[in-house]
Structure 1
């Protein structure tokens, strides 16, 4: 039965006594508001909820693509002052990714982990620091952490240990966080990113863009396990509600080396990490659901200089770094790095000095904001946790997990290229949607089309089939789902139905317009009541009955004669995009199933440009 909380108001003196003596409590306690607002009252009721706004991944990808296009366009116009500064100053970024592990229980208690639970429903005594409560490491939480480390090519350490990271904040009942600062369970990993992952081409080592070198390797310094904190919800103007369900949820912290030198590559690195974690089932909730958060360390130095410090292992002479905390989207990572880079360059150009500090980022803003001075190892008073023994990992366990590791994203994309003729862009996009389910749907549809006798007789090119199927799965099927807000799991159109539809389209049995009409019908009808695609085509008399070339010309000429202004716009003003308007008119005017868009375009172009 979950513990029932009650509200408690604590003065500053009472708070100090509470943390000094830790009196026995039989219920969850209220905690202090932020350190500058001690006079306020804080409650922690069980009924407090926080609405999590999930941004659909498809929408997020579109927004990111739009932003990249906008940035590239702006760069193309040539902001000479900015470009000159970027030529003078070098950006360096290191990233710390915090990911919630996919586990049934918490890291140090048997309380369950659940994203959909009522606030404070799954809380153990240790989670809220009741006197005498001891941590008990749940061994099963190690398995997804090891899978993640293996996916990132890390060396698994036979022995790792736990440390206490001390700090006082309202979301940490113990007054310290248990982590693996000195002896993490994994070290020395790497990520390989390519241009298709969205990295900046300038980040690729020389020779840039050559066939031999089109990838970038990002080093992973270490991966450590640690416990998550409580979830804080502000109730304006000054009340904070705490949900302790998240306390001790197992996390891994992935720390990269400072091998990143552009905002785009920083965002691509986080995206790659999320993709890897999902592929091996280590983290099922990505950035869009709050299951993955990123902190970025940003510094600049003049190109060719030795910098002014050496804060990163393996890299000497970097500029003073600042840390931007809790970035919750790929776009936020890119925008925050860009803003902080520009702020530091501007400050240094004016003769100022960059201070080591922690900064924040708000979506939609153009500048980072100072939060506090940067804490160091001394501030956190790291010490070995006396209540937890070291973690010993056998080589047999590591090898078993290595052999049973699911297929990684790069391998899946490569297989899609070789087996199904998909393009790199389509394969990566399909893999990123719905945990790869769209890619599997696409692959099965392609196999069914290729197995049909008509495809074998027509000698259909594998690449052409793959491109067509990917286009329909992404745009036509995806568009139907997006039109009424449905999820991929709601789709009832089977791969057999889509394969039959596209096989008829490729063999010119139906037009693309008819194909889209049939797809719409399949989408709207109940699966138990649907007839087959071929029967639907025959009953509706929808098979293509092509007209002669002379009839094409006659139809096209009549439309051109009726619309001289449109003809003039194409011929005299060079508005060639309006050619497709004539094609659309031909398809609409002709009897259904008699005009092919490709043939109509060919005839129109012949008449417009004799």
Structure 2
């Protein structure tokens, strides 16, 4: 027979009390199968001591009081963690550098004509060179350079007229040649930068704007995909070998985990906007490695103390992070680990570490390799890569508008959107939602060319609300992907135009949108006519009658509004008037004005 305290899970004595807290609510477990791999709890009985003395009742804590104490303790722990984190920021400076590996949007691999299309059949898109067959030679595929150049231009890099490929030697089963072809010494792009703003999600400590330098962008091969089948089987799919990658290496200029995550998120957005990649982190097309170091703020620390470079602490690298949250969480965990080691008198070792989603600590993978360990050498089989200025100029001139420029346009006088509405329009569906929104605004301006210019100034904001919140809300509720033809831009513009001209009420406009969303293909004008939805305004007398009927329903609320000036509660009465009145005829603004006359005045 096993007895456990419900509060502490401690073994209870035969008297059915916990030795830690003398708690009397004890769980008695019987018939436990001790030989099973997991403990089965088929049944239990909750016992409460039958011999409760007045002294015992003083020690017992009610469930409600216990929950309050637990909540209070949890808040205190969170407050203590925040204080410790603030103290840690004051004493220790975090420095982060990011390396982003992105699969390029190409039809062929980097050094063979094998297809890069994903295939469910393993090892079906593989050339002899991809498998390092003896005698096979690399053949650089020129078309793979174009998406790489678009990415480098979008990230404000200087394109190098001459670049070269190197061999990075290491043995692992996913690298059949025993080396990876990359650009280490002479990459094709250098000296770029990326601007991060408050709306990108940077840490509050970084203010409204921060610029992070990009040291270089290099072309390189991807490796094979490994699948492990414990305890000892590992299968390799070489379809991914030699898929063209770019590696984007930033300078160590980031000092907050949230800013590092924001940078990776924005790089992905930029790469997608210029058609350099087809997938992002969510599908494995982009991965991030993070270099983390800490040093004391109060001292001018030299490289000798922590084995760092240029006054920075000794860095460790966290490999293969596959989500933005993982980037932020892994940096926080590694920073805390390094601070703990240093404050206890230890030394940070240069090493490569791993991160598991849901974990609270990084784990050591191996000692950190340097360039000597990798034995970098120029690849003797590949000629130097020559990039002409005319090609760079042509790509720069035809590059799609980058997200920051789009945001500036959307929040400017042309559309007058808030940054909160502009950003999702840019980010959602790789720009498809933005294109739809711009079509709606253009059609609206044609429909309302006869209205005063002042009335048209607000069209961008109104259209943004309907595209993002009203139509977007229907998509979210139905759990459907974006599809512009579900409600055409012409139909949505017609709904907004009728609403702006006060031919329909807001409730009717939402009703029509819902009908179109559900498959009604009638033009908006026909739908309004056949469903008798065109607004027939109520007279003042009709509004007063409805308002008086609504007021009679809840006189106590009327008294609260009058005595405490709680005007926000007028909305309840407006809703009552809309429900009592003829559908689609009660206008909220007019109803509220009548209510103010009757209740407040």
Find the aligned partners of 2:546 and 2:242 in 1 and give their Cα distance. 72
Task: Tell me by how many angstroms 1:550 deviates.
Answer: 4.8
Would you say how many aligned residue pairs link Structure 1 and Structure 2? Answer: 523
Match of residue 489, structure 2, among 476, 486, 495: 495
Instruction: Return 434-443 or 235-244, whichever deviates more.
Output: 235-244
Find the aligned partners of 1:300 and 1:586 in 2 and give their Cα distance. 63
Instruction: Kindly provide the CA deviation profile for residues 435-493 of structure 1, in whole angstroms up to 9, marking residues without a partner as x.
Output: 1111111111111111114x642545455221221111112222222333332246432
Higher RCO (C-alpha 8 Å, min separation 6): 1
Alignment match, 2:241 = 247
Cα contact 1:306–1:318 (8 A) shared by 2:
no
Task: Tell me by how many angstroms 1:577 deviates.
Answer: 6.5
Alignment match, 1:71 = none
1:93 aligns with 2:96: yes
1:595 aligns with 2:586: yes
Alignment match, 1:171 = 174
Task: Tell me by how many angstroms 1:255 deviates.
Answer: 0.3
| Compared CA separation, residues 569 and 75, structure 1 to 2 (3 A) | farther
**Correspondence list, 1:317-466, <5 A:** 317-416=311-410, 417-453=412-448, 456-466=450-460
Task: Tell me by how many angstroms 1:584 deviates.
Answer: 2.9
Instruction: Return 555-564 or 256-265, whichever deviates more.
Output: 555-564
Find the aligned partners of 2:184 and 2:545 in 1 and give their Cα distance. 79
Cα contact 2:561–2:600 (8 A) shared by 1:
no
Cα contact 1:219–1:259 (8 A) shared by 2:
yes
Match of residue 229, structure 1, among 201, 223, 226: 223
What TM-score does the superposition give when structure 2 sets the normalisation length? Answer: 0.81
Cα contact 1:276–1:408 (8 A) shared by 2:
yes
Gaps of at least 5 residues in structure 2 are 1-76
1:200 aligns with 2:203: yes
Find the aligned partners of 2:131 and 2:561 in 1 and give their Cα distance. 73
Instruction: Kindly provide the CA deviation profile for residues 277-319 of structure 1, in whole angstroms up to 9, marking residues without a partner as x.
Output: 11211112112221111111111112243334399xx983111
Find the aligned partners of 2:304 and 2:107 in 1 and give their Cα distance. 41
Task: Tell me by how many angstroms 1:519 deviates.
Answer: 1.1
Match of residue 531, structure 1, among 514, 522, 527: 522
Instruction: Kindly provide the CA deviation profile for residues 531-551 of structure 1, in whole angstroms up to 9, marking residues without a partner as x.
Output: 210111122111222324454
Instruction: Kindly provide the CA deviation profile for residues 360-386 of structure 1, in whole angstroms up to 9, marking residues without a partner as x.
Output: 222222222222222211221211112
1:552 aligns with 2:563: no
Instruction: Return 239-248 or 557-566, whichever deviates more.
Output: 557-566
| Compared CA separation, residues 130 and 575, structure 1 to 2 (3 A) | farther
1:187 aligns with 2:190: yes
Find the aligned partners of 1:141 and 1:184 in 2 and give their Cα distance. 15
Alignment match, 2:273 = 279
Cα contact 1:104–1:113 (8 A) shared by 2:
yes
Instruction: Kindly provide the CA deviation profile for residues 380-410 of structure 1, in whole angstroms up to 9, marking residues without a partner as x.
Output: 1211112212111122222222222222222
Cα contact 1:421–1:462 (8 A) shared by 2:
no
Instruction: Kindly provide the CA deviation profile for residues 239-291 of structure 1, in whole angstroms up to 9, marking residues without a partner as x.
Output: 33322111100000000011111112111111221121112111121122211
Alignment match, 1:149 = 152
Task: Tell me by how many angstroms 1:565 deviates.
Answer: 6.4
Q: Secondary structure at the match of 2:451?
A: helix
Find the aligned partners of 2:200 and 2:304 in 1 and give their Cα distance. 30
Find the aligned partners of 1:421 and 1:411 in 2 and give their Cα distance. 14
| Compared CA separation, residues 295 and 491, structure 1 to 2 (3 A) | farther
Find the aligned partners of 1:295 and 1:444 in 2 and give their Cα distance. 40
Alignment match, 1:66 = none
Instruction: Return 270-279 or 486-495, whichever deviates more.
Output: 486-495
Find the aligned partners of 1:506 and 1:537 in 2 and give their Cα distance. 15
Cα contact 2:436–2:484 (8 A) shared by 1:
no
Alignment match, 2:50 = none
Instruction: Return 462-471 or 508-517, whichever deviates more.
Output: 462-471
Cα contact 2:260–2:327 (8 A) shared by 1:
yes
| Compared CA separation, residues 114 and 544, structure 1 to 2 (3 A) | same
Task: Tell me by how many angstroms 1:431 deviates.
Answer: 0.9
Q: Secondary structure at the match of 2:582?
A: coil
What TM-score does the superposition give when structure 1 sets the normalisation length? Answer: 0.80
Match of residue 104, structure 1, among 84, 88, 107: 107
Task: Tell me by how many angstroms 1:202 deviates.
Answer: 2.1
Q: Secondary structure at the match of 1:457?
A: coil
Task: Tell me by how many angstroms 1:133 deviates.
Answer: 1.7
Instruction: Kindly provide the CA deviation profile for residues 547-606 of structure 1, in whole angstroms up to 9, marking residues without a partner as x.
Output: 244543443443343245666787889987765444333322221111123444455566
